[in-house]
Amino acid sequence: MTTFTLHLARDARPGDPTALDESELVKDSFSWGAFVFTFLWFFYHRLWLAGIGVLVLVVAFGGLMALLDVHPLAASIAQVLLQILIGLEANSLRRWTLTRRGRPMVDAVTAADRDEAEAKAFARWLEARPAALPRSPTPSPLLSTTRRSEPVIGLFPDAERPR
């Protein structure tokens, strides 16, 4: 089972089916596409800043390996390790970018594949009802507390009462 996160617009209301038109479902696992295609995967998903950052990182890392005159086998292994790191963090960068663009995560579901995850997430979104606005409580004279003038130090301002 894989975990998927559902991202919707910040102003989306639970139960609103029109909010699902612009939804984004992101898989929380290793990204083989980002591992193989590195910065091209980021550009495909319209993650421009992350893609440029990964492109600069890959080029700078290759330049550093050449500058340090690292053995070609060691440089290749280091490059593969860098690509593994990119594959591990690609979907996290995608979620971060979606949140930054005003589409925060609103739900997380576990499913065997993307279609099942989409069905579960959409069903949960449509079943949700908007929460009623909380009423402001009216202060009761019986429940009011008096404020002490001495400072409170620590987490427990009242002394323990003997049993």
- Both tokens of 154, joined, read 């620590």
pLDDT in tens, the chain (163 residues): 899 999 999 988 888 888 888 899 999 999 999 999 999 999 999 999 999 999 999 999 999 999 999 999 999 999 999 999 999 999 999 999 999 999 999 999 999 999 999 999 999 989 876 655 455 555 555 555 555 566 656 665 555 555 6
Res 66: pLDDT: 93
Using an 8 Å Cβ cutoff, are 120 and 109 in contact? yes
Res 133: pLDDT: 47
Phi, psi values for residue 83, rounded to 5° = -70, -35
Q: Whole-prediction pTM value?
A: 0.70
DSSP string of 101-163, one letter each residue: TT--EEEEEEESSHHHHHHHHHHHHHH--PPPPPPPPPPPTTT--PPPSSPP-SS--SPPPP-
Res 137: pLDDT: 58
Res 43: pLDDT: 95
